[in-house]
């Protein structure tokens, strides 16, 4: 009987020790700083020498293999499917494969330029007619799409499109005639005009120059701005989409001071 109790005691201690080791291992893994999904995507794209605007991601997720945490990244570009396993801590490419994409399932892949072309043709305007135009990849209800937005100053109209990134089908679209017209160098129209109406505001071009100065190499085709009024004060709101990043900002219409500036990856 004593021998049996001794065996049971040893077994219990062994199990507890093993459980403790496993717990410590998981705790250590949980405390490790992983590179993140965005960094894993960028590593895969860089290794494949593919621009983000030409890639449609099927998946990018954290996984585990034999105790090693890694990111599984799968995307399609130019008719080829790329599969990557990337170390979640070091960012090293563990494994990579590529094969011809299954077009019977995927359909015709649409790049950023094609998405813009589809939207412009549908709207009946040319890129030269626009003050700005941008397209960015996104996921909606599990579908890879492009969001396309552009503004036509001649008609004071903003267009928004969602286009299927695999088939080129227009999923949704709408357009809005803006209810304001940006004005500068306002003159007094009457005795009741207040100081805001009489003050000189920055032009749209001046505001674009201020914002673009913060994003080297971005051009006017990457930016959109609009004049708005907040608590009686005029300000410009806008965004810049360039090289996988989206920048949103607010700029004082009178002084040109940047009131707000935010930046995030378009893949977030």
Domain-terminating residue out of 126, 153, 179: 179
More confident residue, 6 or 147: 147
The CA distance from 77 to 71, in Å, is 19
Contact at 8 Å (CB) between 202 and 236? yes
More confident residue, 180 or 160: 160
* Largest CA-CA distance found in the chain, in angstroms, rounded: 107
The answer on 53 and 92 residing in a single domain is yes
* E runs forming strands in 101-222: 130-140, 143-152, 157-164, 170-177
Q: In the prediction, which pLDDT does 119 show?
A: 93
* β-strand partners of 74: 59, 83
The CA distance from 249 to 245, in Å, is 13
Domain-terminating residue out of 106, 124, 154: 106
Residue 263 lies inside a defined structural domain of this protein: yes
CATH label of the domain that carries residue 236: 3.10.450.40
The answer on 101 and 89 residing in a single domain is yes
Closest CA to 208 of 184, 225, 231, 189: 225
Query: What is the span of the domain harbouring residue 71?
Result: 37-106
The pTM for the full model equals 0.39
* β-strand partners of 59: 74
Q: 265 by DSSP, 3-state: which? A: strand
Residue 78 lies inside a defined structural domain of this protein: yes
Residue 92 lies inside a defined structural domain of this protein: yes
Q: Kindly report the number of other CB atoms within 10 A of residue 218's CB atom.
A: 19
The residues, any chain, with a CB within 8 Å of residue 69's CB and separated by 6 or more, are: 29, 32, 34, 62, 63, 87, 88, 89
Residue 2 lies inside a defined structural domain of this protein: no
Residue 21 lies inside a defined structural domain of this protein: no
Residue 16 lies inside a defined structural domain of this protein: no
Residue 3 lies inside a defined structural domain of this protein: no
Q: 191 by DSSP, 3-state: which? A: coil
Q: In the prediction, which pLDDT does 102 show?
A: 62
The tokens describing 128, both together, are 């030269």
The answer on 118 and 94 residing in a single domain is no
pLDDT tens, position by position, 168-191: 888 888 877 554 344 444 443 443
pLDDT tens, position by position, 36-82: 888 998 999 999 999 877 777 778 888 888 888 999 998 888 778 89
- H or E element in which residue 46 lies: helix 37-48
Q: How many domains does the chain have?
A: 3
Residue 223 lies inside a defined structural domain of this protein: yes
Closest CA to 73 of 56, 57, 91, 53: 57
């Amino acid at each position: 009987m004593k021998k049996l109790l001794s065996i049971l005691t040893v077994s219990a201690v062994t199990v507890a020790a093993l459980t403790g080791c496993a717990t410590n291992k998981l705790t250590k893994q949980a405390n490790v700083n992983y590179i993140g999904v965005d960094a894993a995507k960028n590593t895969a794209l860089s290794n494949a020498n593919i621009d983000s605007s030409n890639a449609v991601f099927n998946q990018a997720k954290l996984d585990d293999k034999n105790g090693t945490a890694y990111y599984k990244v799968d995307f399609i570009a130019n008719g080829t499917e790329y599969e990557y396993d990337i170390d979640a801590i070091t960012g090293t490419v563990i494994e990579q494969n590529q094969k011809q994409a299954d077009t019977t399932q995927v359909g015709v892949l649409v790049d950023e330029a094609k998405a813009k072309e589809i939207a412009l043709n549908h709207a009946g305007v040319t890129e030269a007619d626009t003050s700005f135009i941008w397209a960015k990849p996104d996921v909606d209800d599990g579908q890879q799409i492009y969001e396309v937005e552009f503004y036509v100053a001649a008609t004071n109209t903003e267009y928004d499109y969602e286009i299927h990134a695999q088939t080129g089908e227009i999923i949704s679209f709408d357009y809005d005639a803006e209810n304001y017209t940006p004005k500068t160098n306002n003159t007094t129209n009457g005795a009741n005009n207040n100081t805001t109406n009489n003050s000189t505001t920055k032009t749209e071009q001046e505001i674009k120059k201020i914002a673009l100065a913060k994003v080297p190499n971005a051009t006017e085709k990457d930016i959109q701005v609009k004049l708005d009024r907040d608590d009686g004060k005029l300000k410009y709101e806008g965004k810049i989409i360039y090289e996988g990043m989206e920048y949103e900002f607010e700029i004082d219409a009178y002084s040109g001071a940047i009131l707000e500036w935010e930046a995030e990856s378009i893949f977030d």
